[in-house]
Structure 1
Amino acid sequence: MADSNHLTTSPHPLRPFDLFTPSPSRPASAAASRLPASRAHHSARNSAGKEGSQMPTLDAKASRLIVVSNRLPITITSHADSELVDQNSYSFKMSSGGLVSALSGCKKQMTFSWIGWTGLDVPENDKPKIENRLSEEYSCKAVWLSDEVADKHYNGFSNSILWPLFHYHPGEMNFVESHWEAYKEANKKFADVVHKDIVQAIDRGEDVLVWVQDYHLMLLPMMLRELLNPSEADRVTQNPAAKKGKVSIGFFLHTPFPSSEIYRILPVRREILLGILHCDLVGFHTYDYGRHFLSSCTRILGLPAMPNGLAFAGRYVHVGSFPIGIEPTKFQEALQTPSVQKRIQVLEQRFEGIKVIVGVDRLDYIKGVPQKLHALDVFLSEHPEWIGKVVLVQVAVPSRQDVEEYQNLRSNVNELVGRINGRFGTVEYMPIHFLHRSVSFDELCALYAISDACLVTSPRDGMNLVSYEYVACQEKRHGCMILSEFTGAAHSLNGSIIVNPWATDQVADGIYRAMIMDDEQRKENFKKLFSYVSKFTAAHWGLTFVAEMQRILKENDLVDREEQYQQDLLNKHGQGSLVDHRPLDGLQIQEADEES
């Protein structure tokens, strides 16, 4: 029986079916019709064969892209107390984060700007020079927030309410009204800056794509719609030379979206949903997250969900899954550098004759480090022949150390590490090498390269790109990927050993399977993993989402023109006249001076 949202069920156990989910058999460029039957739709986007592995191409002249994220991809540092001259009292450094890499392809193909919070509050007279430099050197525009609003918005509401809720930890929530007010205020400040940029573009006749990133800005789409004058943003005229640009808004959530039973705990559940529903395209990492979103809209707002979205406020909100990736060449190139090669040799000598399992996680309750340690404990207890022959190298990057829940987590992990090492360790051997710190990129690549398996036990994780990074570094060793079924990556990385992190015996068995797997099976699994990671990169993700936004914008424009044409016929010939019902594909907009 179909579920309540009428969404197509999965024909594949590891990759839930959604027309946006890229795979060799179902390329991302082959998305089917996403408009309800009541709106005409032109669909000529069928493809097969190798097209799924090709990088999407954007229509560079069709529109400009505005990316909006909580933080700019620039780190601005104040040197107000230094002896530098006034105009150089701030230093700027470009970030190398995943989102920057993912949008590199878009930046090369179309007019591009980035809007976000600067990360610091500065005196009013310093803001113009910072804004000028951001605009001229980085194509960025600043959103200014006071320290109080920024703290309540980011730490208070975004990370203390939305983050735990979206990762199925509602017990960590503590709703404070002032934090919610700060969240709204911050989103409004973002909306004001984005709106100004939009108006300037559409006045020049440019179509605009606004791509909003993540849970910090879930009210922004609604606020933008309220600011945009319909006569500016959506007007269709019969004179192409006088036509103003159009606006399309997209939103992507980088975390899971929880089931409606969890989501409806949120005190402001309606407001958050309504904020997102003012988009034209809403993207998630997996089919399941999109299904949960549609289910929440149905249960909480009473909106009927359609196969790939829903109708809201006179528009169709397209919902799709767009699994993000990494740039594997960055890791492959690093492995060839002398410094990494030297480090690999040192580590291989250190662990000669020993199987190495690597874990790399932030020390966060969503990453499941305690579950991982419990599983290793069970594995060594049930397979004592492996004591002295296998080690876990666990990198635990510090996270939010001023928060009590995270302090308790660290104490729990330290206790587990000590107990397991005390039980199974000797003077010469320790089963767990625990690093509670960040490691350099070179060190990370070397650790990935010398490991025989990577263990990911996240109870909930939007995607988990550590699994992708590990695969990118394993061309020589063909290590095993042991992956929690509750990560977004589990839906894409066919060839992994999929485990339930809550089933300790199952994870322990997954470790055992990885340790005894023969070379032929490892090679076969790695081939599947590496093929996916290499084809569906971060850049592919960014281009695919933006290309879909462009398609929707053009599609909506055609529909609007058809509606305008029909209305003009009625106005010109009267209500009793025949109305032209030509297919949208062959529609030609008639000139305004046509004789009646």
Structure 2
Amino acid sequence: MIESRLNGRKFIVVSNREPFMHRRKEQGTVECIRPASGMATALHPIMMASGGTWIAHGAGDADRETVDAQDCVMVPPEAPGYKLRRVWLEPELERGFYYGLSNEGLWPLCHITFTRPEFRPQDWQAYKEANRIFAEAVLREVDGERALVFIQDYHFCLLPRMLREMSGGKIVCAHFWHIPWPNREVFRAFPWGEELLDGLLGNDLLSFHVHYHCQNFLDTVDRTLEARVDTDRSEISKGGHVTRVRPFPISIDFAEDSRKAASPKVKAATSLWHQKLPGLKGRKLGASIERLDYSKGIPQRIHGLEYFFASHPEWREKVCFVQIAVPSRDNLSSYRAEQEAVDAAVERINSRYGTAEWQPVHLLKEHHGPDAMMALHQMADFFMVNSLHDGMNLVAKEFVASRNDEHGVLILSKFTGASRELPQALTINPYAIEEIATAIEAALAMPLRRQQQRMRLMRDQVAHQNVYRWAGRLLMTLFRVEHLEDDDDEHSLEAEPVIEE
């Protein structure tokens, strides 16, 4: 159990996005929601098992009125299991830290989607200030005791070094990087590269989804800083401190997702889909669910569908595609441009091939609850994840977990970490619309027996490499790092999850 392994240490998770948000409804009442986030979905069971503290930015319009005098609230509301401590950022600071440096700078830099990053000195200053504010929140929560701090993602590159220097060595830091790490030539474009890398090397353990991203990071440090990089042991020594760099592919709570997929609520949601979109009935269905983000390849997907209908006229009026694209960061020009590109692509394919009785693509730019999304998973004859670049992509795994019937075909971009774990998917180059069209035709023509064979293997993989095993391997490695034990035995523990389901 994670509590016994912590051995009296405080366990703290730090992320920008909060796992629960309070917002005011039109009627004036306050509701607590779980924002769409693969990271929050993966970490929630760990927090429930540890009873620790999650520190995050309070972004809900009713967040301030639901916390106590220490800016804390117990979550989830229906069965409180851990503490959420909210950090407040002034709007101008948030714009520079989150929308500026993080999402106009680091996000496009790390996702090789040919979107030019923007680097503004004032955003870098805001980024540093926000990291300092979070460091102070962590130290208040630690209160001089021993603690294990688990930092999430690219928003907090400077936080590990700050915590190491401000705590006097009482804090052990692990950092999970949820997005890709670019090669060293791409990273050279970042104006404050040495300072950012030095911040990350304040970690005791730095982890990525796949080995390739670990190698990119080691190579980047080797060519940028005065540090000893041991590629054989995947370690970096700087200033007498060792940072271990490891791949830990993140996953989902397969058993829980599979159980929910079989629930009456999901079955009822299927009927609601047919009521909402009556044109789906009697036709083959393709689907995709994600944030409206330029890294997800939504316009390319629609262009692939258009090419499919052009080259396979026999499938016209026989196939519908439902695209859920939840608006995201729409105050950034690059995201507004992506929305316009998606709208234009959908309008073109529907104008070109749609009839009075049939619409090829249904674009839904709105959030849907887990029951509705699982129902759509189960209805889909094929499900597409064609990200232009992704660290892992948990949506692909959620589709697999939802298919208790072992039917359906997953079409998956080869530029996702998930493609390394799910080779039974139909793998595509998301930039190649001919490949997308070919994969759609192959998915529609695939016999049920072949679908079952592929889906069964993918379900076995996701069930085995679940979120508990991910957390267990990562935390076991971190505990060994803290005790300075011989790393040679580390991989023998990979099959022993710390957290029990």
TM range (shorter): 0.7 to 0.9
1:64 and 1:391, CA in 2 relative to 1: closer, same or farther beyond 3 A? Answer: same
Confirm whether residue 501 of structure 1 aligns to residue 437 of structure 2.
no
> Offset at 1:444?
1.3
* Match of residue 298 from structure 2: 369
* Match of residue 215 from structure 1: 154
Counterparts of residues 508-527 of structure 1 (less than 5 Å): 508-527=437-456
Confirm whether residue 225 of structure 1 aligns to residue 149 of structure 2.
no
> Offset at 1:451?
0.7
* Match of residue 128 from structure 2: 184
> Offset at 1:148?
2.1
C-alpha distance in 2, partners of 1:121/1:313? 43
Of the structure 1 ranges 342-351 and 253-262, higher mean CA displacement relative to structure 2 is found in 342-351
> Offset at 1:187?
0.7
1:406 and 1:309, CA in 2 relative to 1: closer, same or farther beyond 3 A? Answer: same
| Higher Rg of the two aligned structures | 1
Aligned-partner SS, 1:129: coil
1:269-317 deviation digits (Å, cap 9, x = unpaired)? 1111111011110011111111111111112225434222222221321
Confirm whether residue 259 of structure 1 aligns to residue 183 of structure 2.
yes
In structure 2, runs of 5+ residues without a counterpart are 488-501
* Match of residue 336 from structure 1: 262
The number of equivalent residue pairs is 475
Q: Select the residue among 135, 153, 159 that pairs with 2:97.
A: 153
Confirm whether residue 297 of structure 1 aligns to residue 221 of structure 2.
yes
In structure 1, runs of 5+ residues without a counterpart are 1-54, 83-89, 203-207, 234-245, 560-596
Alignment check: 8 A CA contact 1:74 1:92 kept? no
> Offset at 1:501?
0.7
Aligned-partner SS, 2:71: helix
Alignment check: 8 A CA contact 1:222 1:276 kept? yes
1:314 and 1:451, CA in 2 relative to 1: closer, same or farther beyond 3 A? Answer: same
> Offset at 1:346?
6.4
TM-score by length of 1: 0.73
* Match of residue 70 from structure 1: 16
1:227-278 deviation digits (Å, cap 9, x = unpaired)? 133xxx3xxxxxxxxxxxx532111111111111111111111111111011
Aligned-partner SS, 1:427: coil
1:417 and 1:76, CA in 2 relative to 1: closer, same or farther beyond 3 A? Answer: closer
RMSD: 3.1
* Match of residue 381 from structure 1: 310
C-alpha distance in 2, partners of 1:251/1:342? 40
Of the structure 1 ranges 302-311 and 246-255, higher mean CA displacement relative to structure 2 is found in 302-311
Confirm whether residue 119 of structure 1 aligns to residue 119 of structure 2.
no
Alignment check: 8 A CA contact 1:57 1:547 kept? no
Alignment check: 8 A CA contact 1:453 1:481 kept? yes
1:94-142 deviation digits (Å, cap 9, x = unpaired)? 7475444433454455462222333379999998725365699842334
1:132-183 deviation digits (Å, cap 9, x = unpaired)? 6569984233434323222221112111111111112464322211111111
> Quick one: higher RCO (CA 8 Å, sep 6+), 1 or 2?
1
Confirm whether residue 201 of structure 1 aligns to residue 145 of structure 2.
yes
> Offset at 1:93?
3.4
Q: Select the residue among 21, 31, 43 that pairs with 1:103.
A: 43
Alignment check: 8 A CA contact 2:390 2:415 kept? yes
**Which residue type is aligned with residue 231 of structure 2?**
M
C-alpha distance in 2, partners of 1:133/1:104? 15
**Which residue type is aligned with residue 262 of structure 1?**
V
C-alpha distance in 1, partners of 2:304/2:63? 52
> Offset at 1:423?
2.2
C-alpha distance in 2, partners of 1:132/1:420? 49
1:433 and 1:101, CA in 2 relative to 1: closer, same or farther beyond 3 A? Answer: closer
Q: Select the residue among 323, 328, 349 that pairs with 1:399.
A: 328
> Offset at 1:62?
5.8
1:296-346 deviation digits (Å, cap 9, x = unpaired)? 111222543422222222132111111111223444333334343234356
TM-score by length of 2: 0.86
* Match of residue 131 from structure 1: 71
* Match of residue 241 from structure 2: 315
> Offset at 1:352?
4.6
* Match of residue 490 from structure 2: none
Aligned-partner SS, 1:179: helix
**Which residue type is aligned with residue 452 of structure 1?**
D
Identity across aligned pairs (percent)? 32
Alignment check: 8 A CA contact 1:60 1:111 kept? no
Alignment check: 8 A CA contact 1:102 1:541 kept? no
C-alpha distance in 2, partners of 1:116/1:421? 42
Of the structure 1 ranges 261-270 and 333-342, higher mean CA displacement relative to structure 2 is found in 333-342
1:396 and 1:314, CA in 2 relative to 1: closer, same or farther beyond 3 A? Answer: same
C-alpha distance in 1, partners of 2:66/2:401? 44
Alignment check: 8 A CA contact 1:347 1:450 kept? no
C-alpha distance in 1, partners of 2:262/2:450? 26
